[in-house]
Every structure is written in structure tokens, then in C-alpha cells.
Amino acid sequence: LCSFLGLLYQEYRDKSTREEIETRRLQDSQTDPEETSPSEETPSEAEPTSTTENKAPAQINLLRNSNSRFNLWQDLPEVQNSGVLSILQPDEIKLQEAMFELVTSEASYYKSLNLLVSHFMENERLKKILHQSEAHILFSNVLDVMAVSERFLLDLEQRVEENIVISDVCDIVYQHTVNHFSVYITYVSNQTYQERTYKQLLQDKPAFREVISQLELDPKCKGLSFSSFLILPFQRITRLKLLVQNILKKVEEKSDRESTALDAHKELETVVKACNEGVRKMSRTEQMISIQKKLEFKIKSVPIISHSRWLLKQGELQQMNGPKTSRTLRTKKLFREIYLFLFNDLLVICRQIPGDKYQVFDSAPRGLLRVEELEDQGQSLANVFILRLLENADDREASYMLKASSQSEMKRWMISLAPNRRTKFVSFTSRLVDCPQIQCVHPYVAQQPDELSLELADVLNILDKTDDGWIFGERLHDQERGWFPSSMGEEILNPKIRAQNLKECFRVHKSDDSQRRKLGSRNRQ
């Protein structure tokens, strides 16, 4: 496959997701969406070439270049000449495309990994500039990752060559995930140090900066940056899970192929979670040490650093002074600044003091917090809410009336402080028939711990939204929750498409009913 594959994985992935967005837009605009099923991976949605009534736009030719002749399974000369397209049902053809997409995308990914190693890592000038420890942090165990990809690709190619009608690929995915994919966890867990080292090298070593720039300009790189090659393994392991999800949506229910797809998906999900945890653990430990140094306790000291504790949100709010009867007083001293550090299991309330320090004057377990919004209180009390500590540092109940800088900031604090509080729209995990949905059309990188990074074509349920342009969403494929700007997505308006998205999501996760029951109340950050 690599011999005819012209696109680097970054190009392949970008075109694939953009086509997915366009297909979903078309489905959303159709009056009768039952004709077309939404899909995580568009190429497998292509209809047989003999269909003339197909209203879908022409598929982007993902592999079209001087070295390739086709991009879809049904375009393979062997398939076209065999006559199977006239025998197979449309659903089976879609399944063949979904499986073929997994194979061709792995070939594209391997090609990009190979370029990272041969063009960058093994460059003689770069080797002379980098200290051995710097090279190790920068490239980590990429050679192991590439070897695993090569072995995986060889098994996939062998399966494709066995029969023009692919029997299955998820059994191969399962075996490789269980036996070999732990190399991804090692690579991804190094990401924090990798990014930091890369930035430091660019800043401190002009020779490094110059060589990287020259290597990036090589036509082989097709205008792609060095850093886009470094993040390939993390992107691939996540995408592989989505490709298996796409196959799972197309296999016959209660079939052997459904069983192997569910097994493969479950194992991939375990690896992806371990990758995410690896990244978070590295950055969280450093962050907790930094916060601990800044805190001074006016009350009995609370040990901040714990291996099971991490920061969810921090920031300044205005606290109302005096008793509640003074709420109508119009005075500039009505509010004073306080600073909150909210962890996954603890809230500490502080006042900022000179020297970038914070004096802690109250605290409470996160499970003993309650919030209440104040409505129609006039402009001076806009974006005000009440925070109740059922048991504070003095083992008493305490209330704080707090004012946020905007409606979105108020809602973000309220949802973070009391995650089990009912949102405006109920999550799909409650099995409600309908819920607003949005698909991501611009990628977004989270700037705060309570935000959610988005990839192109992600589909999310909208749990809450604000008048100033923020959405609190839950991504369908992994149930991760967080805030993001509403400008990053387009709402899915067709209720039948939304229902189909939910149905597919339940099917993907049906192998773990106990997990799904937990999802409705979970607030994963």
C-alpha cells in the first residue's frame, strides 16, 4: 500500500475529516435523512459507483496523486473486475469501505512516521546539534512506535490480499492493541516534556532552529511542520478508535464481526485513556507543586499535593461584603476580590496577597458544595450566584455571594463547583429522546482546565450555552465534557440525524452497560 500511497497522514486525516463535515452538513439539510446514515469516517459512506440517484457530493479522492490510482475499496481494479459490486448489498459495500479506510490510513500514517525518522531524527546535522538526552526527549520511543505500525500494517495488508472481499480487520486491531500498542502510552506520556524541550531548543539553539526550518522546506514535507510529525502517534491512536467505531456502526448486530469490533474498541479505549492519563499526570504533578508553594493558610493547613488530586478551575471572583440585607446598597465597596482554587475533591478560598501568594481563609470538600443562581436582581447583581459550603474549614455551614465577570464565567464556575447540578439540556446518557447537538468545524485547543479540546468533525451534545458565546458540551465518542466557544461548531438541526447519532453512540458503548449508567452523573475533566 505504501508504494502507491502519496498523501502524508496529516493531509489524509485533514481531507477525511473535512469531507466528513460536508457529508454531515448535507445530511442535516435533507428533509428525509433516513436515506443516508451519519458516519464517523466519510470515505466508507460512498455509494456503489453504479448508483445514479446518489445525491451526496463527489467523494474527495483521498489518495489521488501521481503514484495512486484509487482511494476507495470499490475503485480497486480487482474489485471492479470481479463483479462483486453487483452482488454485495449496499450496507456490505459500506462496511468494506470502512475496513479499507482503516488499512489505507495506517499506510499513510506509517509513511509519515517513516519521514519523521528518516528526514528529521536521522539527519546528520541535527544529530550533531542535539545532545543525546535532548534527542531522547524530542523523539522518545518513535522507533518502537514505527516498528509496531509496520507490523500492524503488514498484517492488515495480508488480510486485504487474502480475498478481495475483506473478511474482517477488527480481530487484527484487537491482537495488536493488546500485545503491542503500549508503546503509544510511553510516547504520549512524554508529550509535556517533548513540547517544552522543543520550545527551549528553538529559543536557545539558533543552529537547531535553522536546520529544522530547512528540513521543513523540503518538498517531502509538503509544507507540514516538524511539530505536526511529532504529534502523529497521539492523533493516530485516537483516530484508530474512531475508525473501529465506524466499522462497528456498519456490521450486522449480534454477529461475530460486531463482537470482534466491540472487543477491539474496548481495548483501544483503554489505551487512549492511558495515553490521556499519562499526559495529564505529568503536567498535573508540576502544577500542584507550583500551587502549594503559593498558598499560605490563615486556617488549619490542608495538604494540597496528592497523587489523586488535580486542578479543575482557578480564578478571581467578587465576594459581596456584609449581610444579605445590604444587597441593595449602591456602593463601590459592595464587592471585594477573592480567589478560588477548585480541585477535583477540594475547594480552597483565598485572598491574593503581595508576592504572588494566596492566603487561604476557608475550604471545603468538593462533594459538600452547593450553588444557586440569583435571577432578575438588576444590573449591579448580574452574574451573581450563591455558593454554599455544607461543611467548611470550621465544620460549619457557610455561604458566599459571588459575582463573576460574565454570564459564561458564572455558569462555568457553577458547573465546576457542583457538577451534578442539572444543566440546561440533559445529557444523552440519560437516554432522553433528543438533545441539541453540534459538530466541530474548527479545531480548538483548550485554554483552561474546564475547557474541551476539539478535533474537526467531533459531534457533541450541547448541555448548556451562554449568551456570550460559550457552549458546555459532551463529546459523543468518548463522553468527555467541557466548555468551548460556540463559533467552533455548527448546530445539527435535523432531529432524525441527532437521533441517529445517539443510536450509533449507544451501540458503540453497549458492551459496557455499567459504564453507561455512570456517564450521566460523571463530570470528567
Backbone phi, then psi, for 385, in 5-degree steps?
-140, 160
pLDDT bin (cut points 50, 70, 90) of residue 521 is very low
- Which residues, other chains included, contact 163 with Cβ-Cβ below 8 Å and sequence gap of 6+? none
Beta carbons of 6 and 33 less than 8 angstroms apart? no
Least confident among 107-111, 261-265, 278-282: 278-282
Domains of the chain and CATH, by start: 70-290 (1.20.900.10), 298-323+333-417 (2.30.29.30), 429-518 (2.30.30.40)
CA atoms within 13 Å, Cβ hemisphere of 227: 11
Rounded to an integer, what distance in angstroms lies between the CA atom of residue 118 and that of residue 41? 30
Least confident among 19-33, 252-266, 489-503: 19-33
Rounded to an integer, what distance in angstroms lies between the CA atom of residue 62 and that of residue 161? 21
User: Where is pLDDT greater, at 27 or 492?
Assistant: 492
Q: Are strands 346-353 and 481-485 parallel, antiparallel or unpaired?
A: unpaired
Over the chain, what is the mean pLDDT? 85
Q: Are strands 295-297 and 357-365 parallel, antiparallel or unpaired?
A: parallel
pLDDT in tens, 170-212: 999 999 999 999 999 999 999 989 999 999 999 999 999 999 9
What was the pLDDT predicted at 425?
65
Please compute the mean of the pLDDT values over residues 25-41 and round it to a whole number.
Answer: 58
Burial of 80 (0-12, 13-18, 19+ CB in 10 A): middle
Q: Residue 517: pLDDT above 50? A: no
pLDDT in tens, 329-354: 554 567 889 999 999 999 999 999 99
Rounded to an integer, what distance in angstroms lies between the CA atom of residue 358 and that of residue 292? 10
Beta carbons of 268 and 180 less than 8 angstroms apart? no
What was the pLDDT predicted at 506?
83
Q: Cell 459532551 appears where?
A: 474
Rounded to an integer, what distance in angstroms lies between the CA atom of residue 255 and that of residue 89? 16
Rounded to an integer, what distance in angstroms lies between the CA atom of residue 275 and that of residue 235? 11
